[in-house]
């Protein structure tokens, strides 16, 4: 007799495990099927390992500049084997933690590939094959790196972010194709540990979803790290015939390097059999869902990278909560995707939430932009982290703040405050910010959007 669950979740990444816990908290009997490791892309080959490597690289960067802080600490150099071991230990620890957390919520974890046979049956393929009966299904099967047909991954010279996180040695040189979030973060890791890095971006700026000043400033900062950034350049082919890879660009230029990291985006994934068995509606590779995270099949929900709305772990968390609520009798909707924060852990960091200036322009919103630099902030100067600024965007018509864009040392940690402030009725002048703190720059920029900053010189509005 097959086991029976109220809800089965396919995939144990941030979307899947969050949905499982929330469904269990609501009293449902829940099973989760994971074919590889709990934690999904985020924990095993994404957010966490990349931040672990960035953590080591950032520490190295600070140590290299110790003399600026009045310290003499001699030569510092990376030990890549230890950096990798530290990263692997962090991942292993969290992997165990997530599995334990899910199990402690009385969710049954099945190790194997889950294929949906119908809206009420799932087959689990592992060493045995087992079928389970289900009330509702949440698909959280994630995504994979986009492969470019004319230069496919070979896992050796042409690699994806997965291999880039686990290279056995620091390459002498690396060309990164794609100046998006993953490409820029990996550029910071490898350049800091001594690899000669070139970022090639087809569009005319890096981090193209942000306002132009962000890409321009980051390119300048990348130069200080030794990163060459080439924008408006298309890669036409890669020749891997000799010991080095030769990256050929439109117009005839070429770059020789040891590794080519292709970081041109991610693509939603879901098993072909599941799609066919359910006749699921798909757009491109993404599973089509409505605001309730319902697919085209009653009782089947989809979330996270598999629906491709954010390609972010915290986007998957939010969608998981909505799907879990609805699958257990609630009535929730995913609203305000633009208020999902965007964080880039480069040196310096980039963080934004809400609308950018260029998005406002596209939408015909007339804006006033307040700004404040880190160079006039006491704590930033004390920490020798003075690069960058915060810009706050006010809708001139109704006076509401519609977006915040930040570039600076620790701006990702201020995203929650920026998000919480957008749409609040509380006046920023009534909120007391600790002094000296880096977050005072957020207050100054916010007030500057209304022409009332105490520490930013008056501007014409
Ligand atoms: C290098 C890198 C850095 C990143 N950094 C960040 C970051 O800093 N912040 C951020 O928010 N996001 C980041 N992301 C994105 C983030 O990892 C994803 O958005 C997030 O993991 C999506 O969660 P998910 O649950 O939808 O899918 P996934 O995490 O991909 O999980 C899907 C899971 O489903 C399993 N699965 C698939 N098919 C089946 C099946 N048939 N049966 C059983 N199991 C199956 C897979 O094995 C996988 O474990 C990064 C990604 C990469 C690649």
User: What's the whole-number average pLDDT of the chain?
Assistant: 96
**Cβ neighbours of residue 201 closer than 8 Å, sequence gap 6 or more:** 178, 179, 183, 208, 229, 230, 231, 232, 233
Prediction pTM value: 0.97
Same domain, 314 and 353: no
Query: What pLDDT does 1 receive?
Result: 62
On whether residue 423 sits in a domain, the answer given is yes
Same domain, 185 and 211: yes
Which residue has the CA at smallest separation from atom 37 of ligand 1? 141
Do 59 and 137 lie in one domain? The reply is yes
Do 403 and 357 fall within a single domain? yes
Measured in whole angstroms, the distance separating CA 188 from the mean position of its chain's CA atoms is 15
Does residue 153 sit within a domain?
A: no
Contact 174, 196 (CB under 8 A): yes
Q: How far is the CA of 45 from the centre of ligand 1 (A)?
A: 8
When divided into structural domains, the chain yields a total of 3
Give, for ligand 1, the residue of 36, 44, 46 to mutate: max count of ligand atoms closer than 8 Å to Cβ. Answer: 46
Q: Is the CB of residue 39 below 6 angstroms from any atom belonging to ligand 1?
A: no
Assess whether 11 and 93 both reside in one domain: yes
In a domain, 342, yes or no: no
- Assigned token pair, 56: 């080591």
Do 376 and 392 reside in the same domain of the chain? Answer: yes
SS3 for 427? coil
Same domain flag for 225 and 274: no
Q: Which of 8, 9, 10, 13 maximizes ligand 1 atoms within 8 Å of its Cβ, making it the mutation to test the pocket?
A: 13
Distance 379 CA to ligand 1 centre (A): 36
Evaluate: CB of 348 within 6 angstroms of ligand 1: no
Which of 47, 54, 132 to mutate to test ligand 1, by most ligand atoms within 8 A of the CB atom? Answer: 47
CA–centroid distance, 303 to ligand 1, in Å, is 11
pLDDT score recorded for residue 424: 79
Task: Decide: 367 in ligand 1 pocket, CB within 6 A.
Answer: no
Helix crossing, 14-25 with 313-327: angle to 10°? 30
Atom of ligand 1 nearest to the CA of 165: 1
For residue 114 and ligand 1, the question of a CB distance below 6 A is answered with yes
> In this structure, are residues 113 and 124 in contact, taking their beta carbons and an 8 Å threshold?
yes
Distance from the CA of 411 to the center of ligand 1, in angstroms?
Answer: 24
371 lies in some domain: yes
Instruction: State the distance from the centre of ligand 1 to the C-alpha of 57, rounded, in angstroms.
Output: 23
My answer on whether omega of the bond before 231 falls inside 30° of 0, hence cis, is no
Q: Which one, of 289, 306, 307, lies nearest residue 298 by Cα?
A: 289
Q: How many A from CA of 322 to the centre of ligand 1?
A: 18
pLDDT in tens, 101-144: 999 999 999 999 999 999 999 999 998 889 999 999 999 999 99
Cα-to-centroid distance, 42 and ligand 1 (Å)? 5
Do both 257 and 273 map to the same domain? no
The one catalytic residue in 37, 58, 435, 455 is 435
162 lines ligand 1 (CB under 6 A): no
pLDDT of residue 458: 78
Query: Would you say the CB of residue 312 lies under 6 angstroms from ligand 1?
Result: yes
271 lines ligand 1 (CB under 6 A): yes
- Residue 423's pLDDT is what? 82
Q: Answer whether residue 457 is part of any domain.
A: no
Task: Give the residue whose CA is nearest to atom 13 of ligand 1.
Answer: 47
The residue with tokens 């509401």 is 400
Residues 139 and 39 in one domain: yes
313 Cα: distance to centroid of ligand 1 (angstroms): 7
Domain holding 87, by residue range, is 4-145+267-337
CA distance 262 to 310: 20
Same domain, 196 and 290: no
In a domain, 453, yes or no: no
One domain, residues 295 and 376: no
Give per-residue pLDDT as tens, 32-73: 999 999 999 999 999 999 999 999 999 999 999 999 999 999
Q: What is the CATH number of the domain that holds 355?
A: 3.30.390.30
Last residue in a domain, options 314, 337, 360: 337
Contact between 10 and 20 (Cβ < 8 Å): no
* Tens digit of pLDDT at every position of the chain (461 positions): 689 999 999 999 999 999 999 999 999 999 999 999 999 999 999 999 999 999 999 999 999 999 999 999 999 999 999 999 999 999 999 999 999 999 999 999 999 999 999 999 999 999 888 999 999 999 999 999 999 999 999 999 999 999 999 999 999 999 999 999 999 999 999 999 999 999 999 999 999 999 999 999 999 999 999 999 999 999 999 999 999 999 999 999 999 999 999 999 999 999 999 999 999 999 999 999 999 999 999 999 999 999 999 999 999 999 999 999 999 999 999 999 999 999 999 999 999 999 999 999 999 999 999 999 999 999 999 999 999 999 999 999 999 999 999 999 999 999 999 999 998 777 888 999 999 999 999 999 999 999 999 998 876 55
Residue 460 lies inside a defined structural domain of this protein:
no
Task: Respond yes or no: is residue 435 known to be catalytic.
Answer: yes
Is 143 touching ligand 1 by the criterion CB < 6 Å? yes
Single residue among 264, 285, 306 that ends a domain in this structure = 264
- Contact 36 CB / ligand 1 (< 6 Å): yes
Looking at the structure, do residues 15 and 132 belong to the same domain, yes or no?
A: yes
What pLDDT score was predicted for residue 457? Answer: 85
Residue 266's H or E segment, with its range, is strand 266-268
Query: Which residue has a Cα nearest atom 21 of ligand 1?
Result: 42
Of the three residues 232, 264, 296, the one that is the final residue of a domain is 264
Please give the number of the atom of ligand 1 that sits closest to the Cα of 306.
Answer: 26
> Measured between alpha carbons, how far is 344 from 432 in angstroms, rounded to an integer?
27
| CATH at 177 | 3.50.50.60
Residue 150 lies in a domain: no
Q: Is 42 in the pocket of ligand 1 (CB under 6 A)?
A: yes
């Amino acid at each position: 007799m097959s086991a029976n669950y109220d809800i089965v979740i396919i995939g144990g990444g941030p979307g899947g495990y969050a949905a499982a816990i929330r469904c269990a908290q609501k009293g449902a009997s829940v099973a989760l099927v994971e074919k590889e490791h709990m934690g999904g892309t985020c924990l095993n080959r994404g957010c966490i390992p990349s931040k672990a490597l960035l953590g080591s690289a950032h520490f190295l960067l600070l140590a290299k500049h110790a003399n600026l802080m009045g310290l003499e600490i001699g030569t510092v150099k990376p030990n890549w084997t230890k950096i990798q071991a530290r990263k692997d230990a962090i991942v292993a620890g969290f992997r165990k933690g997530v599995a334990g957390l899910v199990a402690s919520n009385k969710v049954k974890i099945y190790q194997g590939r889950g294929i949906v046979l119908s809206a009420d049956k799932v087959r689990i393929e592992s060493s045995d094959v087992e079928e389970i009966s289900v009330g509702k299904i949440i698909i959280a099967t994630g995504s994979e790196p986009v492969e470019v047909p004319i230069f496919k991954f070979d896992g050796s010279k042409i690699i994806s972010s997965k291999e880039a996180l686990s290279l056995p040695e620091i390459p002498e040189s690396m060309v990164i194709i794609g100046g998006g979030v993953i490409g820029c973060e990996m550029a910071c890791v490898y350049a800091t540990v001594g690899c000669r890095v070139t970022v090639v971006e087809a569009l005319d700026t890096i981090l193209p979803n942000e306002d132009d000043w962000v890409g321009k400033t980051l390119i300048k900062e990348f130069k200080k790290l030794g990163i060459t950034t080439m924008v408006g350049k298309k890669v036409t082919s890669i020749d891997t015939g000799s010991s080095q890879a030769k990256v050929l660009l439109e117009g005839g230029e070429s770059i020789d390097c040891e590794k080519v990291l292709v970081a041109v985006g991610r693509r939603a994934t879901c098993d072909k059999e599941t799609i066919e068995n359910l006749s699921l509606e798909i757009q491109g590779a993404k599973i089509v869902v409505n605001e309730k995270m319902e697919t085209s099949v009653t009782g089947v929900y989809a979330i996270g990278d598999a629906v491709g709305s954010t390609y972010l772990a915290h986007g998957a968390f939010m969608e998981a909560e909505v799907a879990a609520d609805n699958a257990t009798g609630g009535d929730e909707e995913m609203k305000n995707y633009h208020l999902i924060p965007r964080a880039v852990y480069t040196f310096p960091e980039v963080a934004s939430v809400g609308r950018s200036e260029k998005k406002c322009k596209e939408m015909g919103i007339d804006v006033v932009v307040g700004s404040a630099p880190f160079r006039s902030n006491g704590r930033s100067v004390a920490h020798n982290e003075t690069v960058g600024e915060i810009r706050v965007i006010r809708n001139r018509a109704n006076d509401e703040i519609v977006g915040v864009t930040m570039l600076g040392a620790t701006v990702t940690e201020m995203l929650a405050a920026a998000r919480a402030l957008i749409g609040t009725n509380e006046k920023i002048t009534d909120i007391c910010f600790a002094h000296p703190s880096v977050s005072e720059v957020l207050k100054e920029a916010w007030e500057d959007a209304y022409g009332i900053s105490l520490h930013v010189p008056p501007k014409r509005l």
